[in-house]
Amino acid sequence: GLACVRLCDVVPDGTSAVVTRGLRNLAHRDGHGQPEPLEPGRRYRIRVELDSSGYAVPSGHRLRVAVSSTYWPWAWPSPEPVTLTLDDGTLELPVRPPRAEDGDLPESVEPEHTPKLETEQRASAPDGRSLRRDYATGRLEQRFDYDAGGTLRFVAIDLVSEDSNSVSYSIVEGDPLSAEVEFRATSGIARGGWSGRAEVTASMRADAEAFHVRSELTATENGDVVFARSWEHRFPRDHV
């Protein structure tokens, strides 16, 4: 099982935002070298470290600790549904007291960088996130389309660049073995009558014993396939 802890800032109107979070595989509670399954009904004392975060809590806000046994798609779910009972706990927060020299700290400024290259936008790539539910199967899919630049022409060197990147996470509620991740990315360059392009797809699934990863790579030159290969890997779950 997993212990997923989130520390949230709750504003006076009741809305909240995650400040930091942490995960602990409870089967690896004594280290990754000697994982052991949990004994149902037995009490354990567990320490979960949260990610480092510099955050100032405004006056009138409250802190809320949320604990759960799943946090998909941030963490892969256990092979079967888990009931996690929290008997008691403490929250330890490092607090930075004000210092006399704080008033002398310089204001943040924009970082220096070289002038941007002149480009022409030929086409935009999909950008954003979406949720889709299949009411026939109960599968919920969360899709991320990352802004990879789309199709650009670099004017000074007359080079056309094309990039896109998307990933989807899907699962059927109540069935942790239905979790799936699918990834797709394309990258290409062209100049004059020549072009090169690479397309990568990858997927990850799991059964009760292992994770299964499949990857494919296809490279083309002027539209002709010059390289293609696929890989399949199996990784034991090892109490994950």
Q: What DSSP string runs through the chain?
A: -EEEEEEEEEPTTS-EEEEEEEEEEGGGTT-SSS-----TT-------PPPP------TT-EEEEEEES--TTTSPPPSS-------------------GGGGGSPPP-PPP-PPPPPEEEEEPPP-EEEEEEETTTTEEEEEEEEEEEEEEEEGGGTEEEEEEEEEEEEEETTEEEEEEEEEEEEEEEEETTEEEEEEEEEEEEE-SSEEEEEEEEEEEETTEEEEEEEEEEEEE-S--
**Residue pLDDT, tens place only, 43-73:** 999 999 999 888 888 889 999 999 999 999 9
- Amino acid 221: pLDDT: 98
Is the pTM for the entire model greater than 0.85? no
Write out pLDDT tens, residues 196-208. 999 999 999 999 9
pLDDT: which is higher, 99 or 225: 225
Q: What is the pLDDT of residue 1?
A: 80
